[in-house]
């Protein structure tokens, strides 16, 4: 009778949770109250934010780096006891033990500020900030799993099914990109004799899915320490931000799917110009992209009712999708043309990119915060009709109703710009 069983199977690539652990990071830093702000008498209130800027997966552990933003509202040590605001940013770094973690796996983090304390110096000109950051780290890997979706063919067969909404992996791939840019040394800095050291990091700022491709955009941030061309051979620091863009071929990728990107600097070099006023930066980046989609899948979890039938089960930890929703928001902002640029006669072109900086999961909703970076090319209202470019970055915040949302869950957010329009004020500036 067992020989008559008809079993239907399906091969899936799913996101399996390797492990989830929690760690704490205690950061403490002393800051001077920036001039010309008055010294602190009493702290009235404060607000904090925390963001993870980099994660590195090692064998059985994950290194997490990020920043804590602290806004302090304080009563000043002045006769009128005016209230002032001061902002500070504290970097942090910690590691979390996650058994089974290995390089190449995906990391999802949930950071939160658990405690903040302040110590103000007697003269009110310095404040020591201590912050306890709690971080939930979830390590995920793609696995191929053959699941049973149906069992038929035998009278009296009892089949137990369960409908799950899971994130399946459509495809993943990597591509290399060579980035070359020339960094000019500012006039206020002396020319470069030799480069002593450097620190370079790469970050992804935006991703776009088009049919069968993922376009990845980002920036390389470089800090160069150099010896100057001067009698005293002084040492100086130069900062630069270099953009990059590359596409990764993923067959079947379509707009509306989710992309998980990653970037790493494989090689970087520097060439100093003969006059020391420019540095040519060459970098080789590896860009990885994984495209996933949400599917509702009915799987067989148990079979009974047939004598002699043996069922072998496999237990895996999946990220089940509890809910998803889409919301549109209109963001309106007034952009002032800098004084050094001429007024606007007409708009020739405009582009915008959006980046999510923070997501907050609350009961029944998800708050999304981010920034929009806009680039406007315009014809100037001057006799020569020259063309100029102005850049602007402004924040946005909105929420999406998801009845199943609860604090502690992970929200994966995708934001895109659907339409841009620009209006010129009557004055043109």
pLDDT digits (tens, 9 = 90+) for 295-311: 888 888 888 888 878 88
pLDDT digits (tens, 9 = 90+) for 201-218: 898 888 889 899 999 988
Residues 151 and 306: their CA atoms lie apart, in Å, by: 12
Q: Quick count: other Cβ atoms within 10 Å of Cβ 117?
A: 10
Q: What is the pLDDT along the chain (429 residues), one digit of tens a residue?
A: 667 788 898 888 888 889 989 888 999 999 999 888 899 999 999 989 888 888 899 999 999 999 999 999 999 888 877 888 999 999 999 999 999 999 988 888 888 899 999 999 999 999 999 999 999 898 988 888 888 888 888 888 888 988 888 778 888 899 999 999 999 998 889 999 999 999 898 988 888 898 999 999 889 999 999 999 888 779 999 999 999 999 999 999 998 888 888 899 999 999 999 999 999 999 999 999 999 888 888 888 888 888 878 888 887 777 777 778 888 888 888 888 888 889 899 999 888 888 787 888 889 999 988 888 888 999 988 888 889 888 888 888 899 998 888 887 878 787 878 888 888 877 544
- Please give the pLDDT value at position 205: 82
Q: 113: part of which helix (H) or strand (E)?
A: strand 106-120
For 157, the 3-state DSSP assignment is: coil
Burial code (b: 16+ CB inside 10 Å, e: under 16) for 29-62 equals bebebeeeebbbeeeeeeebbbebeebebeeebb
Q: What φ, ψ does residue 3 adopt, rounded to 5°?
A: -65, -20
- Please give the pLDDT value at position 233: 77
Q: Quick count: other Cβ atoms within 10 Å of Cβ 5?
A: 14
> Is residue 237 a contact partner of residue 203, using CB atoms and an 8 Å limit?
no
| Residues sharing a CB contact under 8 Å with residue 378, sequence separation 6 or more, in sequence order | 344, 345, 346, 347, 348, 387, 388, 389, 390
- Please give the pLDDT value at position 156: 82
> Is residue 52 a contact partner of residue 112, using CB atoms and an 8 Å limit?
no
- Please give the pLDDT value at position 429: 46
Q: How many helices (H) and strands (E) does the chain have?
A: 0, 15
Q: Is the peptide bond before 36 cis (omega within 30 degrees of 0)?
A: yes
Tokens of 29: 């830093």
What percent of the chain shows pLDDT beyond 70? 99
- 423 Rama class: left (phi>0) / alpha (psi -120 to 50) / beta: beta
**Burial (Cβ within 10 Å: 0-12, 13-18, ≥19) of residue 84:** middle
- Of the candidates 71, 68, 81, 70, the one whose C-alpha atom is nearest the C-alpha of residue 124 is 81
- Of the candidates 330, 340, 339, 374, the one whose C-alpha atom is nearest the C-alpha of residue 355 is 374
């Amino acid at each position: 009778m067992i020989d008559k069983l008809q079993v239907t199977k399906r091969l899936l690539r799913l996101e399996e949770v390797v492990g989830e652990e929690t760690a704490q990071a205690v950061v403490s830093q002393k800051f001077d109250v920036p001039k010309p702000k008055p010294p602190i008498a009493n702290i009235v209130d404060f607000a904090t934010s925390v963001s993870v800027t980099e994660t590195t997966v090692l064998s059985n552990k994950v290194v997490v780096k990020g920043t804590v933003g602290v806004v302090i509202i304080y009563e000043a040590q002045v006769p009128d006891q005016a209230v002032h605001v001061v902002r500070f940013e504290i970097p942090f770094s910690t590691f979390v033990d996650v058994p089974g973690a290995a390089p190449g796996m995906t990391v999802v983090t949930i950071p939160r500020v658990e405690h903040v304390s302040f110590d103000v110096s007697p003269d009110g000109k310095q404040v020591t900030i201590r912050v306890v950051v709690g971080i939930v780290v979830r390590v995920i890997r793609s696995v191929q799993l053959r699941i049973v979706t149906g069992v038929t063919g035998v009278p009296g067969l009892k089949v137990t099914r369960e409908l799950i909404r899971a994130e399946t992996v459509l495809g993943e791939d990597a591509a290399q990109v060579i980035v070359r840019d020339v960094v000019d040394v500012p006039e206020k800095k002396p020319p470069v004799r030799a480069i002593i050291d450097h620190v370079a990091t790469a970050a992804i700022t935006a991703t776009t899915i088009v049919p069968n491709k993922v376009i990845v955009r980002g920036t390389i941030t470089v800090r160069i320490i150099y010896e100057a061309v001067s009698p005293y051979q002084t040492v100086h620091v130069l900062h630069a931000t270099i953009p990059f863009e590359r596409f990764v071929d993923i067959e079947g990728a379509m707009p509306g799917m989710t992309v998980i990107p990653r970037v790493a600097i494989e090689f970087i070099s520097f060439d100093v110009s003969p006059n020391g006023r420019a540095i040519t930066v060459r970098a080789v980046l590896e860009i990885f992209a994984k495209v996933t989609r949400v599917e509702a899948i009915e799987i067989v979890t148990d079979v009974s009712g047939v004598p002699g039938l043996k069922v072998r089960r496999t237990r895996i930890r999946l990220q089940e999708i509890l809910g998803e929703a889409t919301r549109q928001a209109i963001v309106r902002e007034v952009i002032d043309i800098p004084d050094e640029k001429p007024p606007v006669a007409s708009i020739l072109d405009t582009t915008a990119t959006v980046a999510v900086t923070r997501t907050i999961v609350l009961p029944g909703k998800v708050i999304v915060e981010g920034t929009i970076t806009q680039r406007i090319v315009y014809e100037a209202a001057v006799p020569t009709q020259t063309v100029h470019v102005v850049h602007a970055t402004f924040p946005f915040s909105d929420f999406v109703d998801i009845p199943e949302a609860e604090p502690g869950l992970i929200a994966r957010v995708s934001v895109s710009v659907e339409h841009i329009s620009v209006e010129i004020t009557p004055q043109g500036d």
